[in-house]
């Protein structure tokens, strides 16, 4: 009689273990299979990471300063950025001097933009990246002019 009583409730324990296993398996599957919606926080971080990397890489290669400080090469800068980013990424680069005055973007020719202004106003997530340059030596006749002339680059970046 005693042995019979001690075996009672075993099925419940087994049921509970099975239920717990099913719950754990379901949670694991949800984690693996669920298509997670893009989190605005992560999306912004990704965009900003991409923007920083692009500007930093161009600067490390010695291209960024030569393109930024030469107004005639701003279209080349646009092309360089366009090549660097994936096709679904739009950007707008504005160059400011230290007093906060815009050096480009006032006219269509001076804009360093991919996408139109509506792309940025309608976008849910727009990343913003700030990068600075200290100056650039430019040839003037037989010599070089090498003055300290810092500029601030503000890159707005979004996905289309």
Partner 1 sequence: MKPKKEKRGQFIIIAVLLAAIMIVSIGAIMHTAVTYYKHEPWEEYSTLIGDIEINTRRLLELSLANYTNSVIGEEDETILDTNIEKWQNDLTKIYPGSGIVLNCLSSSLQTNIRNPRATADFKLYITEIGLSGYEFSLTTSLSLAVTGATNSTSTDYTITAVVISESGNPVPKLNKNNFMINDAPVTSVHPSLDESNDLVYNINYQGTFPAKVEVWDQRGIRAEDSIFSLTP
Say how far apart CA 2 and CA 121 lie, in whole Å: 78
Q: How far apart are CA 156 and CA 48, in angstroms?
A: 9
Q: How far is the CB of 121 from partner 1 (least distance, A)?
A: 25
Give me 133's structure tokens: 């340059």
Q: Which is nearer to partner 1, 70 or 117 (CB)?
A: 70
Adjacent-strand bridge partners of 156: 92, 128
Interatomic CA distance for residues 17 and 115, integer angstroms: 57
Q: Under the rule (CB under 8 A), what is the footprint of partner 1?
A: 5, 8-10, 12-13, 16-17, 20, 23-24, 27, 31, 41-42, 45, 48-49, 52-53, 55-56, 59-60, 62, 65, 98, 130-139, 142-148, 150, 152
How far is CA 2 from each of CA 6, 11, 78, rounded to the nearest angstrom? 6, 18, 86
Measured from the CB atom, the residue of 13 and 33 that comes closer to partner 1 is: 13
CB nearer partner 1, residue 41 or residue 86: 41
Cα(58)–Cα(61) distance, rounded to whole angstroms?
A: 5
Minimum CB separation of residue 60 from partner 1 in Å reads 6
Do 128 and 121 form a contact (C-beta atoms < 8 A)? Answer: no
User: In the bound complex, what is the minimum distance in angstroms from residue 116's beta carbon to partner 1?
Assistant: 27
**Nearer CB in complex with partner 1: 25/71:** 25
Least Cβ distance, residue 144 to partner 1 (angstroms): 3
Which CB atom, from 110 or from 128, has the smaller least distance to partner 1? 128
**Positions of E strands within the chain:** 89-97, 112-114, 126-135, 138-140, 143-145, 148-159
- Closest approach, Cβ 125 to partner 1, in A, equals 15
């Amino acid at each position: 009689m005693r042995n019979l009583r001690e075996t009672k409730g075993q099925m419940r324990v087994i049921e509970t273990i099975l239920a717990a296993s099913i719950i754990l398996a379901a949670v694991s599957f949800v984690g693996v299979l669920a298509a997670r919606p893009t989190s605005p926080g992560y999306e912004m971080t990704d965009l900003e990471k991409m923007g920083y990397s692009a500007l930093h890489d161009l600067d490390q290669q010695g291209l960024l300063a030569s393109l930024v400080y030469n107004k005639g090469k701003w279209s080349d800068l646009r092309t360089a950025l366009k090549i660097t980013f994936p096709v679904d990424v739009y950007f707008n680069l504005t160059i400011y001097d230290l007093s906060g005055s815009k050096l480009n973007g006032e006219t269509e020719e001076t804009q360093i933009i991919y996408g139109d202004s509506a792309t940025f106003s309608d976008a849910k997530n727009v990343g913003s990246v700030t990068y600075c340059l200290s100056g650039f030596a430019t040839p003037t006749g037989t010599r070089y002019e090498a003055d300290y002339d810092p500029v601030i680059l503000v890159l707005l970046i979004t996905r289309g």
